Chains A and B, each alone.
Chain A
Amino acid sequence: MLDADFFRRWMTAAAASVDRAADRLTELDSPIGDADHGSNLRRGFTAVRAALEEESPDTPGAVLTLAGRRLVSTVGGASGPLYGMLLRRTGKALGDAAEVSEEQFAGALRVGVDAVRALGGAAPGDKTMIDALAPAVDALGDSFAAARSAALAGAEATTPLRARKGRASYLGERSVGHQDPGAASAALLVAALAEVAGE
């Protein structure tokens, strides 16, 4: 069973991972974006970490809902509402249970990913965070480690794609050959999940 502490540790691990990778994320965002993805996410997850310490939410749903709300209000780029929606809808789907099973979490995360798809209108293959998140949710039924591998493979597979959403889509064919920064950061979040699960 997964409790509030597990989800707090996930967010803390995600914050540390985003912090370490911020320069790489911004570098990925330079040729096809506006070179702010790393710094935006670092600001967002730093705020998430502070909010979790201040408010100490005591259920898995409350941890993720609070984290999502902070991301929406602090990131300043498109990843704010998108990751914010992911965590808020996942948290809302978990309800107010003190502990949730891995199956319940996988189901809730699917609700969150569906909400991200509805918000941004992206489908798999559009060269967005969905290309990492969708396969991760599918693999989460097996294990956290399988979800991590699926997210990473999905992120790497965005390199040859032509962007169909977001600022990179203005570049058309010139977006080919660059990994999508949103898919790369989504893979980091899923990897942080596997890390705190000890897988």
Chain B
Amino acid sequence: MSEGGQVGIVLVSHSAEVAASVAALAKALAGGGAAVPVAVAGGTEDGGFGTSAGLVAGAAAAVDRGAGVAVLADLGSAVLTVRALLAEGDELPPGTRLVDAPFVEGAVAAVVTAAAGADLAAVEAAAGEAYTYRKV
């Protein structure tokens, strides 16, 4: 999958603030300066809580460098919208995947891994592994 470019990361949340903050946190924890393409699709186009298919498609296109795009989504319509777009086949860049991962921890793992130059499968695996970090 990897052809030189970096894996793109898209964060889809019901809330624009949540998506933007998680993106900022993940980039900071990845070393700040690392040039991982990260884009957000937060809330609806009119600024409300929800999911916009247009914002998701736009974000995925914006971070596509030819090495695949890992999409992380928070809940409900965010997950279903991404799955519906993927099911249609032509609305997201080739090599786009919905990553099964917790939103915050998965985003951090995905961005850190992508910053290290990993391919899409490794980014997906790292994000999914975040489910196994127990806190108590």
Contacts and interface: CB of A to CB of B under 8 A. Distances in A.
A61 interface: no
The SS class assigned to the B binding surface is helix
The SS class assigned to the A binding surface is helix
A134 B76 CA distance: 21
B45 to A, nearest CB: 8
**What bracket does the count of chain A residues touching chain B fall in?**
10 to 19
A84 B52 CA distance: 13
Interface string B65-88: 000000000011100110111011
Interface string A63-107: 000000000110011101110110010000000000000000000
Given A76-B51, A80-B53, A120 B88 contact: no
B94 interface: no
B76 A76 contact: no
B76 A73 contact: no
Contact of B44 (A76, A81, A84): A76
Contacts of B80: 78, 80-82, 119-120
B48 interface: yes
Contacts of B51: 76-77, 80
A123 interface: no
Nearest to B85: A72
A20 interface: no
A166 B78 CA distance: 12
A76 B84 contact: no
A115 interface: yes
Contacts of B76: 77-78, 166-167
A131 to B, nearest CB: 18
22 contacts: A72-B53, A73-B52, A73-B54, A77-B51, A77-B76, A77-B77, A78-B76, A80-B53, A80-B81, A81-B53, A81-B80, A81-B81, A81-B83, A81-B84, A82-B80, A82-B84, A119-B80, A119-B83, A119-B87, A166-B76, A167-B75, A167-B76
Given A76-B52, A81-B77, 10 more contacts: A34-B49, A36-B50, A73-B54, A76-B44, A78-B76, A81-B80, A84-B84, A85-B87, A119-B80, A119-B83
Interface of A: 34, 36, 40, 72-73, 76-78, 80-82, 84-85, 88, 115, 119-120, 166-167
